[in-house]
């Protein structure tokens, strides 16, 4: 019994000693870890270098200096931008002036070309008229006034009623009609139609209008607003006049007024008139005089090509049909 108790006490003592050993070892390990951690932390804090007051002041001074330089650079940049803007404005003005000078130069060149064309055309007209007048100076069977034979007793006006004629030459058309009637010593009848063969007065279709002051006033008053359709080609009007009014016992002259020719072929017009106005050989049924109005040579934007073609057609048409071509030099 006693022996058993002794064994129990010995076992209990052994267990207590072992437990204390474990506790002691664990506590020692914790203490050791704390010491190590404290040592590491102290070393880390000690190695951090604290900034000095002198270094902060120096950095602030450098910052202020950089800010000052930035302000100066910004001012210089703004000044350069303003100078650049002024230069761009001056360049734009110079470019505008250059464009204006170029336009003026082009306009002058165009005017020079137009004037040169006018002079060339005038020279051609004068040369041909001089040759024609010289060839006719020995012909005594006709009365001539200003190079125009005035032996006819009946006059037919064939007028181009296109927009260019109506807008720019109409007052001159009225004036020339009066001038032409005044140079004839005796006129028994007149008629007015446009280049398409349309009559001014339908009541006088196929009949002669008497040459009286009252009828002339009526013609001029009607002409002021007379604008039937026109194709700027005299073929239809010439054909209508010859077919309606030719008579072997009458001396008739046609006066073709116009400013340009927009037809396809000058030769076609000449051949068509030749067929209807030829009697025997080179004898003609009626005289055909032509009057050219310089609308396209004097109005800005005029069509010089169609005007030149008209002049060429009228010269040849009058020459072939015992007439005279008169190229006017103005519209007033």
pLDDT band for 307, please (50, 70, 90 cuts): very high
Q: What value does the mean pLDDT take over residues 254-262?
A: 94
Q: What are the extents of the domains in the chain?
A: 150-327
Model pLDDT, residue 141: 44
Q: CB–CB of 153/187 below 8 Å?
A: yes
Model pLDDT, residue 140: 42
- Give the separation between CA 193 and CA 201, rounded to whole angstroms: 8
Query: Which residues, 6 or more positions from 315, have their beta carbon under 8 angstroms from its beta carbon?
Result: 125, 128, 290, 325
H/E stretch holding 287: strand 287-292
Residue for token pair 């030749």: 274
Query: Is the pLDDT confidence value at 71 over 70?
Result: yes
Percent over 70 (pLDDT), the chain: 75
pLDDT band for 99, please (50, 70, 90 cuts): confident
Q: CB–CB of 250/285 below 8 Å?
A: no
Could you tell me the two tokens for 28? 């020692």
List phi, psi (to 5°) of 33: -65, -40
Q: What value does the mean pLDDT take over residues 73-95?
A: 83
Query: Is the pLDDT confidence value at 137 over 60?
Result: no
Query: Which residues, 6 or more positions from 262, have their beta carbon under 8 angstroms from its beta carbon?
Result: 231, 232, 233, 306
**106-115, 159-168, 215-224: least confident range:** 106-115
Could you tell me the two tokens for 210? 């008497």
Highest mean pLDDT range out of 8-12, 53-57, 59-63? 59-63
- Give the separation between CA 154 and CA 253, rounded to whole angstroms: 6
Model pLDDT, residue 111: 63
pLDDT band for 104, please (50, 70, 90 cuts): confident
Query: Is the pLDDT confidence value at 118 over 90?
Result: no
Asked if CATH classification 3.40.50.300 holds for the domain at 150-327, the reply, yes or no, is no
Q: CB–CB of 202/244 below 8 Å?
A: no
CA atoms within 13 A on the CB side of 253: 24
* pTM for the predicted model, two decimal places: 0.58
- Give the separation between CA 183 and CA 144, rounded to whole angstroms: 10
**61-75, 131-145, 250-264: least confident range:** 131-145
| Helices and strands, number each (H, E), in the chain | 9, 7
Model pLDDT, residue 276: 92
Model pLDDT, residue 124: 66
**222-226, 231-235, 290-294: least confident range:** 231-235
Model pLDDT, residue 30: 77
Look over the chain and give the mean of its residue pLDDT values, rounded to a whole number. 82
* Burial class (CB within 10 angstroms; exposed 0-12, middle 13-18, buried 19+) of 69: exposed
Sheet containing strand 287-292, edge to edge, reads 189-194, 154-159, 252-258, 287-292, 325-327
């Amino acid at each position: 019994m006693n022996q058993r108790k002794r064994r129990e006490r010995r076992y209990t003592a052994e267990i207590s000693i072992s437990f204390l050993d474990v506790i002691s070892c664990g506590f020692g390990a914790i203490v050791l870890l704390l010491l190590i951690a404290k040592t590491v932390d102290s070393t880390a804090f000690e190695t951090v270098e604290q900034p000095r007051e002198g270094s902060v002041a120096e950095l602030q001074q450098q910052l202020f200096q950089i800010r000052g330089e930035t302000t100066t650079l910004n001012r210089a940049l703004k000044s350069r931008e303003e100078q650049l803007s002024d230069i761009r404005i001056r360049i734009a003005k110079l470019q505008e002036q250059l464009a204006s000078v170029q336009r003026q130069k082009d306009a002058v060149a165009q005017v020079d070309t137009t004037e040169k064309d006018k002079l060339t055309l005038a020279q051609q007209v004068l040369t041909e008229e001089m040759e024609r007048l010289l060839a006719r100076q020995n012909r005594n069977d006709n009365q001539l006034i200003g190079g125009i034979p005035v032996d006819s007793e009946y006059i037919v006006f064939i007028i181009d009623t296109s927009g260019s004629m109506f807008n720019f030459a109409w007052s001159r058309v009225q004036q020339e009609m009066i001038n032409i009637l005044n140079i004839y010593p005796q006129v028994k009848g007149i008629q007015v139609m446009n280049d398409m063969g349309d009559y001014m007065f339908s009541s006088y279709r196929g009949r002669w209008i008497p040459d009286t002051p009252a009828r002339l006033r009526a013609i001029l008053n009607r002409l002021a607003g007379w604008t039937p359709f026109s194709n700027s080609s005299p073929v239809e009007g010439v054909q209508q006049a010859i077919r309606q009014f030719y008579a072997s016992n009458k001396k008739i002259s046609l006066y073709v007024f116009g400013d340009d020719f927009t037809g396809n072929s000058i030769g076609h017009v000449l051949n068509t008139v030749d067929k209807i106005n030829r009697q025997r050989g080179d004898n003609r049924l009626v005289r055909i005089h032509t009057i050219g109005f310089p609308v396209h040579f004097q109005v800005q934007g005029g069509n010089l090509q169609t005007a030149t073609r008209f002049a060429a057609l009228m010269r040849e048409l009058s020459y072939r049909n015992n007439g005279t071509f008169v190229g006017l030099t103005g519209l007033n």
